[in-house]
Structure 1
């Protein structure tokens, strides 16, 4: 029996892209913006048409800034915490936040699996489902952090939207080696060394993407690079050695923060791509209330096909 083809959606990444890619003039009958809702439905339609997965899971952020990551690196995502934002919620545009519950309701009525895990990000849900998968996996995300899961041997790839999901770049081992000179298994070590200002990760002073990749090519792993820095006979330059040694407190914890979890607790769920809506009456009511029109009709037709 052929193993099912699993597609995992980094939902927030996609509805953010839909929100900024579809005009806010797309509104419900009572005048509320539904551009993110309709844009995401169009994305899913295109993904199912183009890639024909057997299983589809919309992975959600139950906690976009988990306490266990913040405890290790207090600056983790601090810049995203707006003073006016509700405690515990990521700052999102005022007209996007009300659309997220609508997205969730529509996915539930369609019967598309929607999954989060308390205390974990969507990335961790994706990492956990990927670790459990027995067949090929396509991860759809605009977040480079998930490149660390790419694994040709296990047929795990990333679809990285360039201009919408219809023009998504396929990220496999060859693509990673060409662009970053690292494999999927090495990507997290590179990311820890490089840092990421957008996530509040300082990285190691003087080490950018290319230098991090060079160090990995030379020494193999982050622990081996740190061992070289501690070895006075290694060929590291004095400045690089000094910067790596001074970054020890950061490097002690960075791998745990950067690497996606593969053991997030998940409830029982059915990942099978639905052929017809799970709750047609609720779906019809949502379609009428929010004016989802052709976007929802196309998705239902595509699922039925």
Structure 2
């Protein structure tokens, strides 16, 4: 099999970022029929931007397809993502609409009940990189840094259309850790955005120091005598919670999804895409980008 360059997009990261970027400036773009399209428009522009940047041979979008209550991780920990608010009513209809746009580009939309977009991208990157393909993941979630390898790079979305590009070398240079340590750092520091508890009183700096000194979480717990009495007591008291956090933060890489690489080839019929753009009244700036 010839080596391909595959761009994997975190659909929810793109869609939410596109929505709030335009909503912040009051740009609730609508069609003449009153259909909200601001998130879809921004998503489409971002997808084209990253396709131009990466120049992939193939492109796939991974999606969350379940409510919080039905997530696999919510079965492990009832508090997982319990702080999430319902999406704005202007955004809700755009969840389906954006998939109509990606389908017009002949881009596969992949998801699986109970799993999150990260798990979809993790599964794809694991399978496809093992076949020798080069993978580029575009997402807003730093958890994806655990997927970085010599075959897999990650672009973390930032404001203003910018991003941070991570390889094993840049991850070590910027954050001082290797991909295998990303989850263990998160296990200790927790994550308030996802309600992952971690160990109370341990922040990112301390978590990173502990993991880089000991190598991994198991080695840390196997050598607690090297810690200060206060730190040892804290880690012992919250051991179960820390290991639960490790489980919650670990991207699942064996989600049962069906796809073919050929169906993900980044080739599209300009006429089909333009017809969808016209239907959504996207305007000339995007239309001219698709030929």
Given the two structures, how large is their TM-score scaled by the length of structure 2?
A: 0.90
Matches within 5 A, 1:85-104: 91-104=86-99
The answer to whether structure 1 residue 26 and structure 2 residue 22 are counterparts is: no
Higher RCO structure (Cα 8 Å, ≥6 apart):
1
The answer to whether structure 1 residue 266 and structure 2 residue 257 are counterparts is: yes
Q: Distance in 1 between matches of 2:206 and 2:243?
A: 20
TM-aligned CA deviation for residue 52 of structure 1: 0.4
CA displacement, residues 47-99 of structure 1 (integer Å, 9 cap, x when unaligned): 1112101110011111253543122222110011x4xxxxxxxx211111111
CA displacement, residues 105-153 of structure 1 (integer Å, 9 cap, x when unaligned): 11112201111112110000000001011211111011111111111x2
Say what the alpha-carbon RMSD is for the aligned residues: 1.9
The answer to whether structure 1 residue 47 and structure 2 residue 47 are counterparts is: no
Decide whether the 8 Å contact of 1:14 with 1:40 is kept in 2. yes
Look up the match of 2:133: 135
The answer to whether structure 1 residue 175 and structure 2 residue 165 are counterparts is: no
Decide whether the 8 Å contact of 1:206 with 1:240 is kept in 2. no
TM-aligned CA deviation for residue 235 of structure 1: 1.6
The answer to whether structure 1 residue 161 and structure 2 residue 157 are counterparts is: yes
Segments of 5+ residues of structure 1 without an aligned counterpart are: 83-90
Segments of 5+ residues of structure 2 without an aligned counterpart are: none
Larger mean Cα displacement after TM superposition, 246-255 or 184-193: 246-255
SS in 2 for 1:225: helix
Q: Distance in 1 between matches of 2:246 and 2:252?
A: 11
Q: How many residues align structurally?
A: 282
- CA distance change for structure 1 residues 184 and 294 in 2, over 3 Å: closer, same or farther? farther
Q: Distance in 2 between matches of 1:256 and 1:149?
A: 15
Look up the match of 2:222: 227
TM-aligned CA deviation for residue 284 of structure 1: 5.5
Matches within 5 A, 1:272-283: 272-276=265-269, 280=272, 283=273
CA displacement, residues 212-267 of structure 1 (integer Å, 9 cap, x when unaligned): 111112211111111223xxxx2211111111111122123222211100000112
Decide whether the 8 Å contact of 2:72 with 2:115 is kept in 1. no
Decide whether the 8 Å contact of 1:29 with 1:290 is kept in 2. no
Look up the match of 1:145: 143
Q: Distance in 1 between matches of 2:276 and 2:187?
A: 43
TM-aligned CA deviation for residue 287 of structure 1: 3.0
Q: Distance in 2 between matches of 1:289 and 1:5?
A: 31
Given the two structures, how large is their TM-score scaled by the length of structure 1?
A: 0.86
Q: Distance in 1 between matches of 2:8 and 2:49?
A: 14
2:284 pairs with 287, 290, 294, which one? Answer: 294
Look up the match of 1:239: 230
Matches within 5 A, 1:100-119: 100-119=95-114
